[in-house]
Chains A and B, each alone.
Chain A
Amino acid sequence: MKYGGANAAVCADVDTYTIPHLLLNNLSKHPNKVAVRKKDRGIWQEYTWREIYTRVRYLALGFIALGLQKGDKVTFIGDNDPELEEGIIAVQSCGGITAGAYPDSLPHELKYITEHSESRFAIAADQEQVDKFVRLKEELPLLEKVIYWDAKGLAHYASPFLMSYEQLMQLGKEYEQRYPTAFEERIATTEPDDVCALFYTSGTTAGRPKGAVLTHRSLIKFGEGTVHKCEITPGHNLVSFVSSAFIGAAFVITIPWLLTGATVNYPEEVETINRDMREIGPEVVSSVPRNWENMAAMAEMRIMDAGFLKRLCYRLFMRVGFKRAGLSYKGKKPNILWRLLFYLAEIALFHPLKDKLGLSRARVVTTGSAQMSPDTFRFWRALGLSLRQIYAGTEAGYISGHEGNDIKDDTVGTLVPGVEARVAEDGELLVRSESMFQGYYKAEQESASAIERGWFHTGDAVDIRTDDGHLVYLDRVKHLAKLNTGETFAPGYIEGRLRHSPYIKDAVVLGHGRDFVSALIAIRYDNVGRWAEKNHISYTTYTNLSQKDEVAELISKEIERVNQGLPAAVKIKRYVLLHKELDPDEAELTRTQKLRRPLVEKRYESILDSIYNGRDEVSVEATVTYQDGRQVVTKTAIKIRNCDERAR
């Protein structure tokens, strides 16, 4: 694969490389180039490739000294930090296999991953994560040591079970005295087809998460796809804010970083991302649709709060933006008058807005992992951002994405070079590629049913357009729903459109095997709250606010907007404003914020029955799980509402 002329940063023989080889490659090519930037104590600290290499080397030697063998597993958990990435690469340099848990995993979730992967060691960020392991110690007999990098609060935890990064590196230095070439020798034993990581899928399919097995080759191929589709070059700044437990972090950040030698920037804290983004001004930003939806909603809300003149400006110039986006879809060049207007809009609105969001230098921004509504997509395109869809999965590898100027708002782009795809008779997409996973860890039956004769069953209903080669994602095959009247519809698509509203945080669209389409809606507390304050509507809690008639009126307008774009037979007829937000702590959403449909349908069964039995109110009892695992039961009555008849 080629990486664009002068910027060619990757060796021709990359196919023979493993992840540690990529690190060595960067060391020999540009040892003094800044590899990583991390904000610490309020100042951006820079680390060169040599520094990163040195730390990885001693960490790896430390692991070897601890007895880490090729093929041993290491669980990691923690917020994104350069240290985490160093630890992961160190383990992979030793021929080890990493298994990631999300930083907000509850102890039992962490236990499952550590146990299932048979991890001998664990890498943990700080006291919060170390505490989880300390509590689980007796239940995890295979786990020998937990290594942490942020020692705050841990100074008095004296225990042979725990070890700091500094201690591990010291161990590595001592080991080096005796075996000076141990690190290089170990790297030499790694092969592209060795397994290097397990990624536990969030399990939208219900049940336990499954560990997808990936090799060095598949991850590197995966990353190559990103470099190709996003045109990443060594001079680019990337931002790390997708959790490393999610394969997205590897294929949109880590591997492209290692392949090109670009710079990865780490925000100070999860809460400071917005401000830090402005300071970084990254050229390439990759995020999940939920995040883009949130940012768009936030921007629109702020505008609504602004004065009359600003609102007018916004409305006028957004039209100009939509026009520009529309022209670019069609591949047409705007005339001189429009070009002048674009220029005006850029200085008056788009640039300041993008600057506020830290996107002023962004050349390519991508979205992936879940469906994004065309409305949100158009919003960002209107601002002049080259927003591109990535269609990829932990198991499927990189499938498709937008490229260059070939961007369409209703597709997920064209196939990545080297990927074969075909659509089965039931509409399911099958793919075959080198970036694909090898199967599920310790689940042969599931692996066999997922991969048939080399083809992976994605479970996605996708249409491959013959005229332009673009893929159109419809929904999960099993989520395609059918009304009793025989009409089929894609709930995920409608949900995405609903979520585009600044007032709607989550939506669950239902109707399979029923007479009509209905929706469960969770309002966006901060925006609706602000709207209520502005309109002198008093409220106390989320539950209270969600059941106000005025709020229902507001939301029904949003539903009407969505209904207008739907065929008459599948318009939303009844809806409920939920008394609480959908919450990953209660397993209603996955940690990557995807909806767990079967669980939600089961949990809200009584509400559903009431919707379809024509009742107007239903009393619900909800068990709320706090972050620390405590459970509390709340009881409340919620109203079932009909959509405006005129809308239909």
Chain B
Amino acid sequence: MQFGGVIALDNVTLAAKKGEILAIIGPNGAGKTVLLNCISGFYRPQRGRIYLDGQRIETKPAPERAKLGLGRTFQNIELYTGLTTVQNLMAARQLFMKSNVLLDAIYFGPANKEEVAHRRVVEDIIDFLEIEPIRDVVVGALPYGLRKRVELGRALALEPKVLLLDEPMAGMNWEEKEDLCRFILDVHEGQGAVYPDFPTLRDGVDTIVLVEHDMGVVMDLADRVAVLDFGHLIAEGTPEEIKVNPRVLSAYLGEEVVA
């Protein structure tokens, strides 16, 4: 992936395995967000391939990829700020709505049924993320931490098989981070009988890819960590291995200059 003269991602080969939380870390400008954008279809890489479940997706537009099971959140929160929490979540469910414009307009028969079914899913998500008090609050009026939570809710509404989270904890205080960590783990594990009708929450999201700066969070959450630096993949391994990897340390701390 290249922007003009800048090579943002160069020869990065990386696989997120089924059932794992993969964290991508790296200094600022390492290409972490570019990588997520390529995967989710926000950018189209000039070269290289992206597979989801063995299927090539790099040429598919973003909505197609969402349908195939890719859900994501953004570093700088991309919600409809003029809509309420419920409306934002319902908007994501649009992806699955089948009825036609005419029936929708008069809100009759199948359109009504469909709306109710999707609203059930949305209410499950609201219950799961404990955002009942802000159900009808316009998102633009919410504090940052809650908006992040709504955004996670929207990604879940897409029923993703793979969840991409771009700096979910950025700008949060300690307590908000702890809450969000719990939500991410709970999403990953699945809640079984608590949400019998919504497969994503019932069975969990198998694979989560997480871009994060807070090393404490990464070490707690991730099964595996990949480290990017200037568009190159410089290390990959368990959190314990990464902590002591000399290449990672030098990328973060700078190399010692020998006089």
Contact = CB atoms under 8 A, between A and B. Distances in A.
Interface of A: 40-42, 150-153, 155-156, 166, 268-269, 271-272
A512 B120 CA distance: 61
Interface residues of B, number: 18
Contacts of A41: 120, 123-124, 126-127
B182 to A, nearest CB: 7
A272 B132 CA distance: 8
Contacts of A269: 130, 132-133
5 contacts: A40-B127, A152-B128, A155-B190, A166-B193, A272-B133
Interface in B124-143: 124, 126-128, 130, 132-133, 135
Given A41-B120, A41-B124, A42-B123, A152 B186 contact: yes
Given A41-B120, A42-B126, A156 B189 contact: yes
B186 to A, nearest CB: 5
A152 B191 contact: yes
A93 to B, nearest CB: 26
B191 A268 contact: no
Contacts of B95: none
Contacts of B63: none
Given A42-B135, A151-B193, A272-B132, 13 more contacts: A41-B124, A150-B194, A151-B191, A151-B194, A152-B128, A152-B186, A152-B191, A155-B189, A155-B191, A155-B193, A166-B193, A269-B132, A271-B133
Contacts of B127: 40-41, 152
Sorted from nearest, which 5 A-B pairs have the closest CB atoms?
A41-B123, A271-B133, A155-B192, A151-B194, A269-B132
B126 to A, nearest CB: 7
Contacts of A156: 189
B133 A153 contact: no
Contacts of B133: 269, 271-272
A88 to B, nearest CB: 23
Contact of A153 (B120, B123, B135, B182): B182
Q: Is the interface of A mostly helix, strand, loop or mixed?
A: loop
Contacts of B123: 41-42
Given A41-B120, A41-B124, A153 B132 contact: no
B191 A153 contact: yes
A241 to B, nearest CB: 14
A274 to B, nearest CB: 10
Nearest to B135: A42
Nearest to B192: A155
Contacts of B182: 153
A391 to B, nearest CB: 34
Contacts of A272: 132-133
A218 to B, nearest CB: 37
Contact of A268 (B128, B132, B190, B193): B132
A250 B130 CA distance: 28
A42 B84 CA distance: 14
Contacts of B193: 151, 155, 166
Contacts of B192: 151, 155
B84 to A, nearest CB: 12
A146 B182 CA distance: 21
B138 to A, nearest CB: 15
B132 A42 contact: yes
Contacts of B194: 150-152, 155
Interface string B88-129: 000000000000000000000000000000001001101110
Interface in B181-231: 182, 186, 189-194
B157 to A, nearest CB: 15
A125 B27 CA distance: 42
Of A41, A268, A269, most buried by chain B (CB within 10 Å of CB) is A41
Contacts of A268: 132
A166 B123 CA distance: 22
B201 to A, nearest CB: 9
A152 B204 CA distance: 13
Contacts of A152: 127-128, 186, 191, 194
A329 B124 CA distance: 51
A41 B195 CA distance: 12
Central interface residue in B132, B189, B190, B194, by most chain A CB within 10 Å: B132
* Residue picked from A40, A42, A151, A268, most chain B C-beta under 10 Å: A42
Given A42-B135, A272-B132, A153 B126 contact: no
Interface string B57-100: 00000000000000000000000000000000000000000000
Nearest to A128: B182
Contacts of B126: 41-42
A162 to B, nearest CB: 14
Nearest to A156: B189
Nearest to B86: A42
A322 to B, nearest CB: 35
Point out which of B123, B133, B193 has the most chain A C-beta atoms below 10 A from its C-beta: B133
B132 to A, nearest CB: 5
A271 B128 CA distance: 16
Contacts of B132: 42, 268-269, 271-272
A155 B186 CA distance: 9
A445 to B, nearest CB: 43
Q: Which of B124, B127, B135, B189 has the most CB of A within 10 A?
A: B127
Contacts of A151: 191-194
A271 B132 CA distance: 9
A40 B120 CA distance: 11
A151 B128 CA distance: 11
B21 to A, nearest CB: 15
A91 B133 CA distance: 32
Nearest to B133: A271
A156 B193 CA distance: 11
Nearest to B178: A628
Contacts of B191: 151-153, 155
A320 to B, nearest CB: 35
A272 to B, nearest CB: 5
Contacts of B120: 41
A42 B189 CA distance: 25
A222 to B, nearest CB: 33
Interface in B23-80: none
A133 B47 CA distance: 54
Contacts of A40: 127
Contacts of A271: 132-133
B105 to A, nearest CB: 24
A268 B189 CA distance: 26
Residue of B120, B124, B128, B194 ringed by the most chain A CB atoms within 10 A: B194
A401 B128 CA distance: 43
A431 to B, nearest CB: 41
A268 B132 CA distance: 8
Nearest to A271: B133
B137 to A, nearest CB: 11
A341 B120 CA distance: 49
A152 B123 CA distance: 14
A392 to B, nearest CB: 32
Contacts of B190: 155
